[in-house]
Structure 1
C-alpha cells in the first residue's frame, strides 16, 4: 500500500503540481545538475580568455559574435581563405586583429587560449588535431568530422592533449533539451519506443545558395590550400562559397541538420546511438549542379541498452518545403509524447483517468465511495516555455566552453559524445549513396 502511495504521489507531483497550469516557465536549474552548474558558473569570469577564429564564414561569424557576448573574452586573430572575410573581420571586431590564410600561423601564437573552427567540414579533423597538438582549447562546428574514419584521430588527440574540446551542436545546451531530459527520466511519457525529427527550409539561402562575391577569384581565394586535402580541381567559386552542396567539402543535409537532432535525442535519452542505418531521398528541386539530395529520409534502429529500451527513429529533411521552415523533435513513449524545441517542450498524454492507480482505488473502497465516482484528472497537455530574457542555447553553449577552460571542467558535447552524434548522420549519407543498410556499433564506435 505504501509503495503504491509513493508512486501515485510521484506521478501527481510531476504531472500535476509541477505543470498543472500551461504554459509553464522553466524553473531555476536543479542544484545537482552538474552540467548547468558548470555552464552557469559565475566565479571564473575574471580570467581573460583570448580566442581566434579559423573560418570566418556564416557560422564562424555567428560563433564569434556569440562568444564575444561573454565577459572577459577577446578575439585577437582570424584566419580565412578569402580576402573579403578577413577585411570584414577587422571591420566587425577591430583593426588590431592578426589576419592570415594559414591556420598554423594562428596556432603558433602564444597569446591565444582557444580557437573556434568554422571551416567547411573537410577541414574540421585536421585543424582540430593541429590545434590540440599545439596546446589550444577547441570549439569546432558540427559535424566534428567529415567521415567516420576520422573520428578516432580527433578523440585520441583530445585525450592526449588535456585540453577542452567542445563541438558546436548548441541545441544540447538549450533549456528545452534539459527539460525534456528531466521529464523523460521522471517517466512523463513512459518508456520510449519511437522518435522522429523534421527539418524544413525553402528560401534560397536556406537551401545553401549562399552569396558568391563579385570579386571571387584565385587572386582573392586561396584555392590551392582549400583543396589541398581533397580532389584537385580548377578554381570553382561555387565549390568554395556554396561548399555544402559538394561531397568533397560538406556532409549534405544529414551532416548539416540531422546531426542537431541526433545530438538532442542522445542527450535526452542518454543513448549511445543506433546500430542500423538506412536512407532514401532525391534531388527534387535544387538541380543546380549539387551532388547531394534536397529531400532526405533516414531510418535508424536503436538497440536495447542499459540507458533505454530499444526504439526506432525516423528523420526527414526537405529543402523544397513550400509552406514553412518548421523544425521539431518528437519523442514517443508508452504513456505519451514530447515535442521538443530549444525553448519549449510540449508533453501530451492519452491517460484520461487514474483508474489504474491502486492507491486511489484502495482509498475509494476504504471510504465507501461509489466505484464510479468521478476523479480529478491531470492535464492531457503540458507546455513548458522559457522565461523572458533567456539568452539562448548558443550563448549557454559557449558559457559551458569558457567555464570548462577556466575551471578545468568538462563540457556537454565533448568529442566522444559528438562523434556518436555525427557518425549516424554521416552513415545516413553513406546509406543513401551506396543504397544499402549500414550496421554500426554504437558502443565501440565502429562499422560492423
Structure 2
C-alpha cells in the first residue's frame, strides 16, 4: 500500500515462507496524515490479516513520514525470526521447545540462537540508487546457499528457465499471485470503505465486490 505499492512484495515474502494464502478477514486503519498533496493512498497505515484456521494473525504497518528501518518478524511461542539483510532467531523466555536449554543456560533470550549474516557490500555501481539500497537492506538481492553467496535474480530466472526446459511450476506462480492479489484488494477495500472485509474459502469469494 502507499506510494510504490510495496505491500504486495512484503506479503509475497511472507507467503513464500509460510504459505498462509488468503486471510479470513482484513481490517485496515490509516490515512493521508503527512503528505497532504492530493494522494489517494494512505501514507500511514496498519493492516491486520486474520487466519483463524491457522491460529495466526499478521500485522503490516508502514509510514512514509518516517525513515526508521522496519523489518519483518515472525513471532511464535518458541522463538522469533527476524528477516532482512541478515536472519536471526531468538528463543522466547516462555518457550516450550527450548525450555531445557533456557533452564540449564545453554543459551538465553538476549542473544540469537541462530544467525545468518552474509558478508555483503553493495558495489558502487549497482548500489548507487536508493532503490538498490532499499532492496539490499531488505535481504532481497542476495542469499546464501551452502555457504555460497548467490544473486536472487539469478535464482529466480534459473527456476523459470528450468520449468520451461523440464516442466514443473515456479514457486512464485499464478496461484500465489491470486492469493496475494486478493489479499491486497481486501486491504484496499477495507481502507476505502472503512470496514472489515471477509473471504469465503469454500465459495472462493468475498464481500470484496459487493
Matched-pair contact (CA < 8 Å) for 2:78–2:94: no
Most deviating of 408-417 and 396-405 = 396-405
Q: 2:74 aligns to what?
A: 331
Q: 1:314 aligns to what?
A: 59
Q: What is the TM-score normalised by the length of structure 1?
A: 0.35
* Matching residue within 342, 348, 370 for 2:90: 348
Deviations 1:54-108 (A, max 9, x none): xxxxxxxxxxxxxxxxxxxxxxxxxxxxxxxxxxxxxxxxxxxxxxxxxxxxxxx
Matched-pair contact (CA < 8 Å) for 1:272–1:442: no
Q: 1:154 aligns to what?
A: none
Q: 2:45 aligns to what?
A: 296
Give aligned pairs, total: 175
Matched-pair contact (CA < 8 Å) for 1:272–1:443: no
Other structure's SS at 2:61 match: strand
Matched-pair contact (CA < 8 Å) for 1:420–1:442: no
Post-superposition offset of 1:292: 1.3
Matched-pair contact (CA < 8 Å) for 1:255–1:422: no
Q: What is the TM-score normalised by the length of structure 2?
A: 0.71
Unpaired runs of at least 5, structure 1: 1-251, 361-373
Instruction: Report the structure number with the largest CA radius of gyration.
Output: 1
CA separation of 1:356 and 1:287: change in aligned 2, threshold 3 A: closer
Matched-pair contact (CA < 8 Å) for 2:80–2:92: no
CA separation of 1:318 and 1:356: change in aligned 2, threshold 3 A: closer
CA separation of 1:377 and 1:290: change in aligned 2, threshold 3 A: same
> Which structure has the highest helix share of the two?
1
* Matching residue within 4, 7, 12 for 1:263: 12
Other structure's SS at 2:48 match: strand
What's the C-alpha RMSD, in Å, of the aligned pairs?
A: 2.9
Unpaired runs of at least 5, structure 2: 121-147
Moved over 4 A (4+): 351-357
* Matching residue within 257, 279, 294 for 2:28: 279
Match status 1:426 vs 2:155: no
Deviations 1:350-395 (A, max 9, x none): 34999955xx9xxxxxxxxxxxxx8351354121124666343333
Match status 1:375 vs 2:79: no
> Which structure has the highest strand share of the two?
2
